[in-house]
Amino acid sequence: MKNHKKTYKSKPWLKYYDEDGIAHHIDFPDCSMVDMVMQSAEKWPDNTAYIYYGHKVTYKNFVRKIEKTARALKNYGVKEGDRVTICMPNTPEGITMVYAVNMVGAICNMVHPLSSEKELEYYIKVAESKYVLVIDAVFDKIYKLRDTAQLERIIVVRPSDGLGFLKKKLYNTLHVKKVRLPANDSRVVLWEDFIANSYFYQGNYHEERGGNDLAVIMYSGGTTGAPKAVMLSNLNINAESICDGVMIRQTVPGATVLSILPLFHCFGLGVCIHTPLCRGMGCILIPAFSHKQFADIIRKNEPNFIVGVPTLFEALINTKLKSNDLSSVTAVICGGDALNQTLRNKINDFLSSHGSDAKIRVGYGLTEGSGAVCLSPEHTFADGIIGVPLPDMDFKIIKNDTFKELPAGEEGEICISGPLVMMGYLGDDAETAQAIRLHDDGKLWLHTGDIGYFGEDGLLYFAQRLKRIIISSGYNIYPTHLESIINSHEAVLTSTVIGIDHHYKGQVPKAFIVLKPGYKPGKRIEREIRELLERNIPIYALPAAYEFRDNLPTTKVGKVAFRELEKEENSKK
């Protein structure tokens, strides 16, 4: 009893655990990601694991697909510890490959299909990946890298590959335009041929891997804004799924999740894919989301869970649904960006008026924390609340540039410790040491770069970000990275990028540019800068506007006063 009081005092959020019957501590299994899914298949073999355009696959058959894909990987020479790049939207082949790679003891290198060619080259090279799974629409970008990245195998997926026979035939008939693949390059193989060749391998394909083994590489801006390869272990991803299941009581076998958030996004893989697959639930795979199709998606699939970013819920409340169309919805989770009270109330009213008793809950997380690390209580909300830490996660608020812990009500940097904290940044010990630090209490703490505080109610509140960041439709965009690219143009003296409000995406980047003497602003230079950015960053990160100026406002120490530019933009509203 004495120890419990001491723990309770240092963790004020535990009273919410007690109210909801949540265990203070969880013994996490020492196993791989695929082991967790196979355990689900043993418990619920006939439950639906995923649905893809109406085509349903049971857990029993999903595991068979994983095993067949694992044999195919071994047949093509993939070994334990190899890195396999997965450049896919949410399709059956994408999620099957994740678990097959895990099964053979290799590591998934998760990349955004809309990444620029330069970014893809960096992601593949930093991970030392020789194998790529890619959706056919972006095959050309990957194929251009075949020699510079020394790729051994490029496996190409068509969107129809995951459909049943009749639907696949219909799809291929209607979508006659196909990506042309090179005829005489043995490095390129279609998914169907890749799988067919699995029969040539009859050896062992299931390597024993533990919780502390590297499982997934994902990409984040780190503390500087330049791309950083985040190393996540089996334990990181498994703990995310177990904690989500404990915190969200509606995660029951047979329930379905609208899996819109992409698998190359930590929130998508951890919360929308791995969590349901570890709980006997079904993933409704949505490879390309369109707000115009949202109503049809909901009516056809009748999901129990909707998980997304604020822009997705903005789209939801603007759909035309009938009064009972959301009656299936039992849980709604929002992450990726702040959710204000006004939008929350609109979402809850929309849910209620369309047949759902669910109330939207807010999650907070980051790639370095394996996705979500904090979740608001089911029936408690106020502006800024990001909730209570997930089980076995420890939080504290420290004074900036110190390790001094601050009391309730005082703002400081949010630091987290526990099983969800990443292994580190691949190939960047200096950046890892900057992000994960040993404090006086003897524990390693991840410095999030976010400012928050604990309320007197024991809940965590978000205030602002320490590092410059723009969040557009849930994606993180780092202004310093864009500025470094813009500044590399021969005509540019300096630049700064800020986020400006957007009615649907939340924010979009705007670039302010000062040219060198002798250069004049015009459409030609703007086009060159835009094309330079297109070669180096994904489409969603491109500035929505460019403004040329003679000079930019500066601080007393000579740095660009980007806050002044933000104030100027806000004054235009």
Whether 69 is covered by a domain: the verdict is no
The answer to whether the beta carbons of residues 390 and 374 sit under 8 Å apart is yes
Whether 388 is covered by a domain: the verdict is no
Average pLDDT of span 151-164: 87
Amino acid, res. 358: A
Per residue in 247-262, pLDDT (tens digit) is: 998 899 999 999 999 9
Whether 176 is covered by a domain: the verdict is no
∠ Cα 551 557 558 (to 5°) = 20
CATH number of the domain encompassing residue 494: 3.30.300.30
Cβ-Cβ contacts under 8 Å for 34 (sequence gap 6 or more): 66, 99, 100, 102, 103
Whether 552 is covered by a domain: the verdict is yes
Bigger pLDDT: 465 vs 391: 391
Average pLDDT of span 341-345: 84
Whether 503 is covered by a domain: the verdict is yes
Tokens at 505, concatenated: 């995406």
**How high is the mean pLDDT of the chain?**
89
Indicate the angle between helix axes 523-534 and 479-486, nearest 10 degrees: 120
Confidence at 573, pLDDT banded by 50, 70, 90: low
Tell the burial category of 535 from Cβ atoms under 10 Å away from its Cβ (0-12, 13-18, 19+): exposed
List the beta strands (DSSP E) in 270-325. Answer: 282-285, 305-308
Q: Give the integer Cα–Cα distance in Å for 308 and 316.
A: 10
The answer to whether the beta carbons of residues 500 and 507 sit under 8 Å apart is yes
The number of distinct structural domains making up the chain is 1
Whether 244 is covered by a domain: the verdict is no
CA dihedral (324, 330, 335, 339) in degrees, to 10, reads 60
Residue 164 confidence (pLDDT): 63
pLDDT of 491 higher than 80 = yes
pLDDT of 432 higher than 90 = yes
The proportion of the chain whose per-residue pLDDT surpasses 70, expressed as a percent, equals: 92
Expressed as residue numbers, the domain containing 485 is 470-571
Comparing 106-115, 280-289, 369-378, 477-486, which segment has the lowest mean pLDDT?
477-486
The answer to whether the beta carbons of residues 507 and 470 sit under 8 Å apart is yes
Which of 91, 388, 32, 464 is closest to 213 using CA atoms? 32
Residue 71 confidence (pLDDT): 97
Whether 25 is covered by a domain: the verdict is no
∠ Cα 362 250 395 (to 5°) = 40
Whether 91 is covered by a domain: the verdict is no
Residue 2 confidence (pLDDT): 32
